[in-house]
Amino acid sequence: MKHLVYLCIIVHVIQLSPAIEAKEILGIFPHFGYSHFKVFYPLLRNLAEAGHNVTVITHIQSSNKLDNYEELLLKQMEVVNIVPLSEWRPRTWNGLLNEYVGLHEEGQESCERLYESGYVQEVLRRHQEIKPYDLVITEYFNSDCQLVVPYLMNTPIVALSSCLLMPWYYDRILLPDTPSFIQSEFIGFSTPLNWFERLTNFLQAKVLSLLYRYHTNQKDNDLIYRHLNVTVDVADIARQQTSIIFGNQHYSLTGTRPQPTSFIEIGGIHIQEKVIDEPMPRDIDDFLQTSGKEGVLFISWGSMIRASTISSDKLTAILKVLERSNLKIIWKWETEEVPVKNDKFLFVKWAPQLTLLCHPKVKLFWGHGGLLGTTEAVYCGKPMILTPIYGDQFVNAHAVENRQIGRILSYDNINDSSLEDALQTVRHSSYAKNAQDISNIFRDRPSKPLETATWWVEYLLRHKRAPEVLHSHAVNLNWFILYSLDSICIIVVTLLLIIFVLKYTLKLMMKICRNKNDEKLKKH
C-alpha cells in the first residue's frame, strides 16, 4: 500500500510537470576566454542532461561529455596566464578607449577564426539538410559576427554575459542604463556617484556604445559579407531576435536596478555546491590543517593574469608584510620558481578555488576583482582585498567595497603601509559579519541560478510565441521618441505659447486700461 501511494505521487508530479520534447540547440562562443566559458558550460550541459541535443562551437573542450553534447572545437588559443601585470593602467579616458580598441581587435580576430573554421557553414548546412535548430545560445561580449546564424535560421537568440553587461548591449532589450547610478562595466566608483563621476559614467557609456554600433558592428557586417556573401545589420538582428539576456550578476553585490523581463540575473551559475566538500590536494589539505586559529589568506589573481610578473618592489613589500602577519598564505603562482620558501607560504599552480574559499580555515581572499572569484568569495562569505587590473574588475571591486565586505588595494599603491592597512581593515569583525550577511542573501533565492536559466530556455522552447511576448516593439523606436522628447517638446512649446498669449493679453488689457484713464483725465 505504501509503495502504491509513492507511485501515485510520482505519477501525479510527472503529470503536473510541463513536458517538452528534445530540441536542437546551437551554442556559438567565438571568444577564447576560459573564465567566460565556465559561466556558459553549466547551462549547456544541463540542457543536454535534460535530453536536448546541444551542439557547441567553442575553444574550450569539456572533460565530461554526453552523447547528445557535441563540440565543434575552434583552433586553440592561449586561454590561461596570458596577461602580465605590466598591462595595468589607471582608469583614464585614454585607457578606456585603448581597452575598447583591444576588445574590438580581439573580437575581430575571434570572428575570423570562427569563419575560417568552416563551422558556421557546417551548422547552416545541417539546419537546411539534416534537422533544423530551434534556438541559438551565444555570448554578448566584444563582437556580433555570429548573429547571422540565428538570422538565417530564423531562431530566437538567448544571450549570455559572463560579466556585467557591456554598455553597447542595453538597447537590445530596452534595459535602462540610467548612468546617474548604474555603473557601466568599464567604470568603478564608490556610491553614491558625485557630479563628475555621473558625467564620466554617462559619457563613456554613450561614447563606447556609439563606437561599438558604428565601428565594431560595421566590421562584423563586412566580415559576414566577405565570408557568406550575405548583407545584414547585426545590430538590427540583435534587436529583433534577442529573447533573453542572462547576466552573471546578482543584486546582493551589484545593487538593484530597473530591468525588463527579458534580462535575468544568474550570478553564481558556475558554482557547483557538490565540489565544496570534495577532498583537496594533499599538500593544500596538510597546509590548512597546520594553520593556527588565525587561519589562512588565499591569494589568487585569476586564470588570465601571470602573478609572477609582479614588480620586484611590490613583491618585496607584500612578502615583508605577510611575513609579519599571523596568517598563513596559500598563493596561486604559475611558475616553478617561487618568491620564498618557508612553512608560512604555500605556492600552488592550481587550487580548487571554491572548495578552498569555503573552507573554515580560510579567513580572507586577495583577488583581482574577476567576477567568478569575487562571486565565489561572496558565496562563501569571506572578506576580500581586491586589486583590479583591467576590464570589469574595477566595477566589481567597488561593488565589494560599497557593500563593506572588502577593500580595494590599487596595484600602483601596493606598499608596506597600504597592505598593512588593508589587512587590518578587512580583519575587523564587522567585515566578516557583513560578508556572511551578503552571502546569506546571495544564496537565498526562489531557485538556483542554473535552474532559473534552464527553466527560461525551456520556456522559450515550449512556447512558440514566447519570443514575440518577450520582445518589445519599442526597440524599433528612435531615441527621440523612446525618451518622449517629442512629447516634452510639444508640452514646452504649448507652455511657451500659453505664456506668450497671456503676456500679450495682459499687455493689451493694461494698454486699454491706461487709455481709459487718459480719456478720463482729459475730460476733467
Domain that holds residue 487: 477-507
17 in a structural domain: no
Q: Omega into 192 within 30° of 0, i.e. cis?
A: yes
512 in a structural domain: no
Same domain, yes or no: 279 and 147: no
Please list the ranges in the chain whose pLDDT falls under 50: 1-17
Same domain, yes or no: 357 and 452: no
Give the per-residue pLDDT at 5: 41
Give the per-residue pLDDT at 84: 82
Q: With the CA atoms of 305, 309, 314 and 316 taken in that order, what torsion angle do they form, in degrees rounded to the nearest 10? A: 120
Cell numbers for 89, please give them.
593602467
Same domain, yes or no: 384 and 309: yes
243 in a structural domain: yes
CB 60 within 8 A of CB 85: no
Give the per-residue pLDDT at 85: 84
What is the CATH classification number for the domain harbouring 387?
A: 3.40.50.2000
Same domain, yes or no: 156 and 243: yes
Cell numbers for 503, please give them.
503676456
Mention every residue, 6+ apart, whose C-beta is less than 8 A from residue 159.
137, 138, 139, 140, 169, 172, 242, 244, 245, 246
4 in a structural domain: no
Same domain, yes or no: 467 and 485: no
Same domain, yes or no: 348 and 463: no
Same domain, yes or no: 296 and 425: yes
Same domain, yes or no: 46 and 70: yes
390 in a structural domain: yes
Give the per-residue pLDDT at 43: 98
DSSP assignment of 402-471 equals HTTSEEE--GGG-SHHHHHHHHHHHTSHHHHHHHHHHHHHHH--SS-HHHHHHHHHHHHHH-TTHHHHH-
Give the per-residue pLDDT at 11: 39
User: Distance between CA atoms of 294 and 427, rounded to whole angstroms?
Assistant: 10
CB 260 within 8 A of CB 174: yes
Give the per-residue pLDDT at 499: 94
204 in a structural domain: yes
